[in-house]
């Protein structure tokens, strides 16, 4: 009994206990539904078909996308067979990696353990994040390397950060949006060692162009020569095909303009039963604009966490607005997926400030409201998750109850005032 008490005490003191339990319960829910449906959902039909061709040595028909993400889908099928588990295994795994990296990013930004865990909780139980980590599409691979590049940059590992950006682009071209986040944040907060930093960031395009032909050699291993072996020509092909996909040419109710994503709730149904619905959780969507205004204010006041979150939002979301207006390029609601982390950081920052008011505030009514902010919002967020996600109620109800209890338990452990905004390099 004494050993059990000692173990509980040690686990309670270990910083990553709450994170590990959060990831574990998320994985349980992911794997509980990984076999359903047993048919490809939405764009899985293209990537799974491509993976079959790659396994047979026939190359790929999806030349508009870089090779890395497709190879992860292929490798899953190679290991576990041509079945839903093989299709989606690495998506689920990389989704868990995203949660861990996101927490580590929050900590490198000098957010408190409490606020960092709160942000990770919001991200892991956000519907669109959960869905994209449940399907065999490219976005989760690109996001994992994007988050890896942020974390490595904040640790001062500029060389590895540049390579990670390149890997993000090799998974999906939109991974290039990681680079302006890093460049702008360095410009506004640091500017130290400019030669080393800028030369390291050049590794992003360098790794992209050097690794792409090697990865394409795996895809086209039975071909003596293929145009994709030339990285310049392949990049031009990808950009040309992408530019041809416009709203005018492919009108569809599935498409949506970037400004629609934050002005009205957009729903893109991947599958009806179980209901795979690409939709930003209402608990997050309703607060996007208020959170952006809040982090803008905090960034102007010199808060480095808010600044990073704001630059993340601007570089991964706002850029789509001029792109849409100028090129008329098609876009989907899941293009907002890489931006959700920025909103979760801003939201955790605001909720933590309310929590501090609840602990130290003098006005009785305001203090009571502030103390209810986090538990109340967690319940709303969990309710949205339960309603939207395709996980069976037999799995998600007990998992969400456990997550709520764990969140309340671990969010109470860090009683010190939050330290958000002290940038650590």
The C-alpha atoms of residue 406 and residue 21 are separated, in whole angstroms, by 8
pLDDT for 14 equals 73
- The DSSP element (H or E) to which 272 belongs, if any, is none
CB atoms within 10 A of CB 368: 11
Tokens of 141: 């691979």
In the block, which residue shows the tokens 């009205």? 264
pLDDT for 11 equals 58
The C-alpha atoms of residue 1 and residue 339 are separated, in whole angstroms, by 46
pLDDT for 366 equals 62
pLDDT for 406 equals 85
The C-alpha atoms of residue 127 and residue 280 are separated, in whole angstroms, by 6
pLDDT for 417 equals 39
The DSSP result for 284-297, as a single string, is HHTTHHHHHHHHHH
Average pLDDT along the chain, 425 residues, taken 10 residues at a time: 55 80 96 94 94 92 91 96 96 98 96 93 96 96 98 95 97 96 93 86 95 94 84 92 88 91 93 93 96 96 95 97 94 96 96 75 62 84 94 91 86 50 42
- Torsion sign across C-alpha atoms 52, 53, 55, 59: negative
CB 125 within 8 A of CB 387: no
- Closest residue by Cα to residue 113 from 9, 257, 14: 14
In the block, which residue shows the tokens 């982090």? 295
The C-alpha atoms of residue 141 and residue 153 are separated, in whole angstroms, by 19
DSSP letter for 329, please: B
The C-alpha atoms of residue 388 and residue 229 are separated, in whole angstroms, by 42
């Amino acid at each position: 009994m004494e050993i059990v008490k000692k173990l509980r005490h040690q686990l309670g003191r270990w910083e990553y206990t709450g994170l590990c339990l959060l990831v574990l319960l998320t994985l349980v829910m992911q794997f509980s539904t990984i076999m359903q449906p047993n048919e490809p959902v939405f764009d899985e039909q293209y990537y799974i078909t491509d993976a079959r061709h790659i396994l047979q040595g026939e190359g790929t028909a999806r030349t508009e996308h870089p090779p890395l993400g497709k190879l992860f889908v292929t490798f899953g099928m190679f290991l576990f067979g041509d079945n839903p588990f093989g299709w989606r295994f690495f998506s689920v795994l990389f989704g868990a990696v995203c949660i861990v990296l996101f927490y580590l990013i929050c900590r490198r930004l000098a957010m408190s353990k409490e606020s960092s865990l709160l942000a990770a909780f919001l991200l892991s139980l956000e519907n669109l994040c959960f869905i994209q980590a449940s399907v065999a599409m490219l976005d989760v691979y690109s996001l994992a390397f994007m988050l890896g590049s942020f974390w490595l940059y904040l640790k001062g590992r500029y060389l590895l950060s540049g390579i990670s950006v390149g890997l993000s682009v090799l998974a999906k071209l939109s991974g290039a949006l990681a680079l302006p986040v890093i460049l702008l944040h360095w410009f506004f907060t640091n500017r130290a060692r400019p030669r080393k930093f800028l030369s390291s960031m050049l590794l992003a395009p360098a790794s992209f162009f050097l690794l792409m032909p090697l990865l394409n050699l795996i895809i086209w291993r039975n071909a003596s020569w293929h145009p994709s072996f030339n990285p310049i020509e392949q990049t031009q092909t990808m950009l040309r095909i992408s530019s041809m996909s416009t709203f005018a040419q492919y009108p569809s109710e599935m498409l949506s303009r970037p400004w629609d994503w934050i002005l009205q709730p957009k729903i893109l149904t991947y599958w009806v039963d179980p209901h795979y619905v690409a939709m930003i959780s209402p608990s997050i969507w309703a607060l996007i604009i208020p959170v952006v205004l809040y982090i803008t204010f905090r960034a102007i006041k010199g808060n480095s966490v808010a600044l990073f979150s704001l630059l993340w939002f601007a570089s991964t979301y706002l850029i789509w607005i001029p792109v849409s207006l100028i090129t008329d390029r098609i876009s989907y609601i899941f293009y907002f997926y890489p931006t959700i982390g920025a909103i979760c950081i801003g939201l955790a920052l605001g909720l933590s400030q309310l929590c501090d008011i609840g602990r130290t505030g003098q006005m009785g009514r305001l203090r009571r409201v502030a103390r209810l902010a986090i538990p109340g919002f967690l319940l709303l967020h969990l309710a949205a998750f339960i309603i939207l996600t395709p996980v069976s109620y037999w799995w998600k109800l007990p998992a969400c109850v456990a997550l709520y209890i764990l969140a309340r338990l671990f969010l109470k452990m860090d009683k010190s005032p939050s330290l958000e905004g002290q940038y650590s390099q």
